[in-house]
């Protein structure tokens, strides 16, 4: 069975209440339940932390266990060379996801230290970006891992 991890960074634990005009009213827990139902043949684990080092440790722990990772590093996208290095080091295909369109926001959000280490990036499609990332990984990894 295909093993995927969704890794969410800082403040994504507040989805549903945090700036609903940008991020919507849906909690990630509610969305994650529907995502698992949509992909019943994929084992999807979810991890969230507001702490940079914990995110790096979790990415390291995916080595040898996960076939792919969906990463929404939140604000660390624009600041963390360490997370970018971890993405590069683990040797697992990673799709970067952002709920909001980061290119339509503040200038400092237009830089991603992580994007160049990922197989692709999805931005501005709301929570659907996660499903699109999972679908991409399913389509591109299933024949290689099963």
Active-site residue set: 23, 98
Dist CA 60 CA 40 (whole Å): 26
Spatial separation of the C-alpha atoms in residues 139 and 144, rounded to whole Å: 10
Question: Shortest CA distance to 60 belongs to which of 83, 32, 42?
Answer: 83
SS3 at position 13: helix
Q: Return the DSSP state at 111.
A: -
52 HSE (CA, 13 A, CB side): 12
Work out whether strand 120-123 and strand 68-72 pair parallel, antiparallel, or are unpaired: unpaired
Q: In what order do the strands lie in the sheet with 68-72?
A: 42-48, 2-8, 68-72, 94-98, 120-123
């Amino acid at each position: 069975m295909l093993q995927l991890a969704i890794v969410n960074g800082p403040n994504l634990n507040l989805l549903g209440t945090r700036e609903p005009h940008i991020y919507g009213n849906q909690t990630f827990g509610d969305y994650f339940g529907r995502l698992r139902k949509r992909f019943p043949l994929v084992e999807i684990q979810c991890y969230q932390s507001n702490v940079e080092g914990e995110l790096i440790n979790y990415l390291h722990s995916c080595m040898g266990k996960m076939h792919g990772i969906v990463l929404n590093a939140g604000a660390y996208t624009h600041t963390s060379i360490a997370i970018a290095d971890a993405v590069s080091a683990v040797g697992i295909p990673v799709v970067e996801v952002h709920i909001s369109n980061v290119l339509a926001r503040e200038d400092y959000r237009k830089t991603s230290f992580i994007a160049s280490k990922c197989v692709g990036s999805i931005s501005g499609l709301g929570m659907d970006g996660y499903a699109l990332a999972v679908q991409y990984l399913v389509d591109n990894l299933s024949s290689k891992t099963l």
